[in-house]
Amino acid sequence: MTKTVTPPDVRPNNTHFSSGPCSKRPNWSLEALSDAPLGRSHRAKIGKTKLKQAIDLTRDVLEVPADHRIGIVPASDTGAVEMALWSLLGPRGVDMVAWESFGSGWVSDVVKELKLPDTRKITADYGLLPDLSTIDFDRDVVFTWNGTTSGVRVPNADFIPADRKGLTICDATSAAFAQNLDFAKLDVVTFSWQKVLGGEGAHGVIILSPRAVERLESYTPSWPMPKIFRMTKGGKLIEGIFQGETINTPSMLCVEDYIDALNWAKQVGGLKGLMARADANAKVIFDFVEKNEWIANLAKDPATRSNTSVCLTIADKDVLALDADAQAAFAKGFVALLDKEGVAYDIGAYRDAPSGLRIWAGATIDTADLEALMPWLSWAFETQKATLAKAAA
């Protein structure tokens, strides 16, 4: 007889645990967007004012130094990273540092599309960080701060020397507003609204240090530059981009939503408050993992575990005895059970990552909802194990 597992009594109020687009802030509603200048030009005074407000609030909440430029750019974080790669790389050799899907994507772009000959790849498998001591900072360096698909992050910026000769280009999309970015060590920082602040997709943010601006104004790439990547004209930075004059047409509805999220961030204590919320959320998951042998963190070193995109694997010995396809099927069935019950949506591992779970713990999630979710993980596991036992019988 198949074992019947009793579902928990308590359900999360917010069941949106996707790692991107991520959950809206608590108590969000469409009414928060009522001041959006819809049907107006983004180049009109009202549009520019809103875009500049978003830039100024970003600087305030993220604690960006006054001498760094902040620009709103097309195509989410991907567009922001590509702008940096295509515009800045070339004068020096480059070290590409990757330990998960998106970092590996940037490696592929630099090697296969830009075809930079002096490129070194410094990589590690899912769950691990590469040996950061092997990076040569006399070269340009490209890395992700937080590996969204592996749940592995750099613990801090201590590995970056202050007297570096090359530029550091950091994809910080699931770290910004949840982890302490050291802007003194970062020449380019990119992120998208749709991660920690739960904004809508399609828009990216690029932050440039004075060193990055100097490179832009002193170096012209040998390859053709698409219009949406161009940040200079006549050898000078296009300052308007960093004052709200966007390269292409932004959604003023999305801009309003981002402004709303930034204002909420200030209400919960700014950057420190956001980081504290994410830390508390991640701790709920980490504590659960410690108490349950059947589940494990994909990130091996506790010091490198993400507090936003928490990635987990099924560590049960019976499941591990299955072949890779059967393990993946077990994890997918696990996720499907929670989806069917309406208690957690979109928490499957990223398609390129090892099979398992990826649960968003960023600041827009309330800790109580993760506490309510944890018993459901046990329920889903026990239910899947019962199904596995029935199939083996």
**Parallel, antiparallel, or unpaired: how do β-strands 152-153 and 236-237 relate?**
unpaired
| pTM score of the predicted model | 0.97
Q: Domain ranges in the chain? A: 30-266, 270-392
Listed in order, strand segments (DSSP E) in the chain are 69-74, 94-98, 119-123, 140-144, 146-147, 152-153, 168-171, 188-192, 203-208, 232-233, 236-237, 295-297, 309-314, 357-360
* pLDDT for residue 3: 60
Integer Cα distance of 201 and 124 in angstroms: 29
* pLDDT for residue 392: 79
* pLDDT for residue 389: 87
Q: Is the CB of residue 73 less than 8 Å from the CB of residue 79?
A: yes
Q: Is the CB of residue 8 less than 8 Å from the CB of residue 376?
A: yes
Consecutive 10-residue averages of pLDDT for the chain (393 residues): 80 98 98 98 97 98 98 97 98 98 95 96 98 98 98 98 98 98 98 96 97 98 95 97 96 98 98 98 98 98 98 97 96 97 98 96 98 98 92 79
* pLDDT for residue 1: 45
Q: Is the CB of residue 20 less than 8 Å from the CB of residue 347?
A: no
Integer Cα distance of 32 and 28 in angstroms: 7
Integer Cα distance of 254 and 118 in angstroms: 39
How many CB atoms are closer than 10 A to CB 80?
A: 27
Q: What is the DSSP string of 142-180?
A: EEESEETTTTEE-S-STTS-TT-SS-EEEE-TTTTTTS-
Burial class (CB in 10 A: 0-12, 13-18, 19+), 115: exposed
Architecture of domain 270-392: Alpha-Beta Complex (3.90)
Integer Cα distance of 384 and 92 in angstroms: 52
* pLDDT for residue 280: 98
Integer Cα distance of 186 and 118 in angstroms: 22
Structural fold of domain 30-266? Aspartate Aminotransferase; domain 2 (3.40.640)
Q: Is the CB of residue 51 less than 8 Å from the CB of residue 257?
A: no
Identical fold for domains 30-266 and 270-392, yes or no, is no
Alpha helical stretches, state H, 89-229 = 101-108, 210-218
* pLDDT for residue 340: 97
